[in-house]
A and B are shown apart, each in its own frame.
Chain A
Amino acid sequence: MHFSLLETVLIAGFVNAGLYGFLPISIILSYRISRTIAFVHGGIAAAAALAYWLLCFESPEFLPGEDVVPNFILQLGSDPDGAHRYGSRPEFDPLAALLLVMVMGAAIGAVYGAIVMSRRIASQNILTLTIISLGGMMALIGIFQYLNVQPDSLPASPFGAHTYVFQDVPLTRHRLVTLVVVAVLSVILGILLTRTHTGLVIRALADDQEAGVWCGIKLRAVGTLVYAGSGALAALAGVLIAVTAGPNPAEMLLLFLNGLAIAAVGGMRSIPLAFVGALVFSFLETALIVGFFGDVDRAVSALVLYGALLGIIVTVARFRKENVFLLERQSL
């Protein structure tokens, strides 16, 4: 082990945890209300990443007529002389693009929520609901894949491009702001869930949806609201990740699965515990990347990372006396 790199691992790992802490939030929120894994949020995140890239990416390096990003949306642009120009795009201000994409995520989430929280569909079994969610994700990715964007370049951060150096470790403003946003959001959601009647209603529905309806809760309205909120957060997560990892849907899906595993650390219910999972995952990943453990093979790195995550999930579940795989215990 190279202990000279410990400081780098701790600082960069802590800051990077912000990104990993983001995706579980929307997954946990929707799980709390529907008891299903919201794969659709993976689709929203991927769609949002691509939409953000399309809206704000500046492409001076692409020449008119260059077949860089051929797709029907980008072909709408043209030069003042009327020449057809592939690669033209709105070039929105990144912050405006982020807000627009979050609105899009909220709208997709709301529509999905209104459908799956209607009494007819909400009363289906968990497997059916999970398949619907998976279908939603595949549909979203399919639609955005149609744009055929496979960008090599990263979009600009909505928070600017400044880089700070702390103890010789370079930290981008993007990652620092992401960390702050995750922390603030966690606190706000914690207050919302524990200190407001809306939060109480969400927790009650997580316990027993049908009983909630008998108590006068408007299931569809609350469900739509929660899915809209979690859809906006998934879109935000997609954009924040796209800035550092690129908006490629395949990469985004892999990160979504990481987010899912991290959410499982918190038993799909606890945002603070999921953040602990994100921290551990981020520290380990950073340590493996910077060579803290020496030169480690990529496959071994993946084994170590996911093995550690599984270990934490089992440990936390045992400590909380919950079933690891979130299923009802069978009396065999």
Chain B
Amino acid sequence: MRGSSDGSVLTVRQLVAGYSGQAVLHRVDMEVRGGEVISLLGANGAGKSTLLKTIMGTVPVIAGQIHLGDADITRWAPSKRVAAGIGFSPEGRRVFANLTVEENLLIGATSMRTSHRRDQMTYTGELFPILANRMDQRAGTLSGGEQQMLAVARAMMTKPQLLLVEEPSQGLAPMVVDRIYETLREIAADRGVAVLIAEQFQQIREEFSDRILVIDKGQIIPDEELVAAPAAGSADGEVTA
């Protein structure tokens, strides 16, 4: 499954989602194309995490639709979404601390055929060569930056067409963050993957993003409103477009 007939990898239409029937996202519309890096910015509680988890299938959809390519995946189980080509690197990395780097990567390839799992190691090893030297090391003993690389590499094990990355810069030094963003940029440019990155306003990396979306109170703020109200969704008004 590679992109829809109009080129978009992910299409979200009028999405309402939340917990226990209580809506957190309100009529969200968005589209992500192959090879594109989109930064989704928002304050704490704005709905970034809920949106990504809804796309992954772990937050229930109340109304609206999610399309991956031409397929309507709104009611699909998370495992089916992963197999169809969505990779997710969650907030806080969430690597399997007691497993080795190699085992973490193999878990990332669970939805693939057994014979293909090992081949994928080479594919992701090219993204983060540092991990190749640490295959037998327990993930819990890696540095924060290495764990973030592992989380992205694990999400890339299924050769996804859409990569969701949640707060990749959290708790990391600026140099390490730049390195991770460069890799995300490469993933989009060289492999045609659509990359959607959720970040706090303070962590914005405009130079690595093709587009920036701002989410506030569960709604994507339209561009025209952002231009008219520079402080949208941000207390200090860092984001203006």
Known A-B contacts A119-B58, A210-B58; A216 and B96 likewise in contact (beta carbons under 8 Å): no
Binary interface profile of A, 188-214, with partner B (CB < 8 Å = 1, else 0)? 000000000100110110111011111
Partner of B107, one of A119, A200, A210, A218: A200
B114 lies within 8 A of chain A by Cβ: yes
A215 vs B88: C-alpha distance when bound (angstroms): 8
Which B79-95 residues have C-beta < 8 A from chain A?
Answer: 79, 82-83, 88, 90, 94-95
Q: Say whether A107 faces chain B, with CB atoms less than 8 Å apart.
A: no
CB-CB under 8 A from B88, the residues of chain A are 214
Q: Is the pair A208, B94 in contact by a Cβ cutoff of 8 Å?
A: yes
Max chain B CB contacts within 10 Å: which of A197, A201, A211? Answer: A211
A204-B107 contact, Cβ under 8 Å, with A197-B114, A213-B79, A216-B78: yes
Is residue B32 contacting chain A, with contact meaning CB distance below 8 A? no
A216 touches B56 (CB 8 A): no
In the complex, which residue of chain A has the Cβ closest to the Cβ of B102? Answer: A200
> Do the beta carbons of B106 and A197 come within 8 Å of each other?
yes
Whether A197 touches B58, Cβ cut-off 8 Å, given contacts A211-B94, A213-B79, is no
A212 and B107 contact, CB distance less than 8 A: yes
Expressed in whole angstroms, the Cα–Cα distance for A216 and B159 within the complex equals 13
B90 touches A211 (CB 8 A): yes
Nearest-Cβ distance from residue B15 to partner chain A, whole angstroms: 19
Query: Which residue on A lies nearest to B97, using beta carbons?
Result: A207
CB <8 Å contact, B96 and A208:
yes
Q: Quick check: is B240 within 8 A (CB to CB) of the other chain? A: no
Given A200-B107, A201-B107, A208-B94, is A215 in contact with B58 using a C-beta cutoff of 8 Å? no
CB within 8 Å of A: which B109-123 residues: 110-111, 114, 117
Judged by a CB distance under 8 angstroms, whether A217 is at the interface is: yes
Starting from the known contacts A203-B103, A212-B96, A217-B79, 13 additional A-B residue pairs (CB-CB under 8 Å) come to A197-B106, A197-B110, A197-B114, A200-B103, A201-B110, A204-B104, A208-B96, A213-B58, A214-B88, A214-B90, A215-B107, A215-B110, A216-B82
Binding site for B on A (CB under 8 A): 119, 197, 200-201, 203-204, 206-208, 210-218
A14 CB to nearest chain B CB (Å): 32
Q: Which residues of B contact A203 (CB under 8 A)?
A: 96, 98-99, 103
A-B contact pairs, 18 of them (CB 8 A): A197-B114, A200-B103, A203-B103, A204-B104, A207-B99, A208-B97, A210-B94, A211-B96, A212-B107, A214-B58, A214-B78, A215-B82, A215-B110, A216-B78, A216-B79, A216-B82, A216-B108, A218-B79
- 3 shortest interchain CB distances as A-B pairs: A216-B82, A216-B111, A211-B94
With A and B bound together, what is the CA distance between A217 and B104 in angstroms? 12
Question: Within 8 Å CB of B97, what residues of A?
Answer: 207-208
How far apart are the CA atoms of A206 and B97 in the complex, in Å?
10
Q: Which residues of B contact A214 (CB under 8 A)?
A: 56, 58, 78, 82, 88, 90, 94
* Smallest beta-carbon distance A179→chain B, Å: 30
A201 — which chain B residues lie within 8 A by C-beta?
Answer: 107, 110
Q: Does B185 contact A (CB under 8 A)?
A: no
A7 to B205: give the CA distance in the assembly, Å. 73
**Measured between alpha carbons, how far is A211 from B155 in the docked complex, in Å?**
11
Q: Is B48 an interface residue (CB 8 A)?
A: no
| B77 at interface by CB-CB < 8 Å | yes
Chain A residues whose CB sits within 8 angstroms of the CB of B158 once the complex forms: 216
- Across the interface, B154 reaches (CB within 8 A) one of A200, A206, A215, namely A215
Contacts of A217 in B (CB 8 A): 79, 107, 110
| Assembled-state Cα–Cα distance A218/B158 (Å) | 15
Do residues A204 and B79 form an inter-chain contact, with CB atoms below 8 A?
no
**B106 touching A200 by the CB < 8 A rule?**
yes
Q: Looking at the assembled complex, report how far the CB atom of A215 sits from the nearest CB atom of chain B, in whole angstroms.
A: 5
> Which of B56, B82, B110, B117 has the most chain A CB atoms closer than 10 A to its own CB?
B110
Contacting pair B99 A204 (CB below 8 A): yes
Task: Tell me which residues across on chain A come within 8 A of B99, comparing CB atoms.
Answer: 200, 203-204, 207
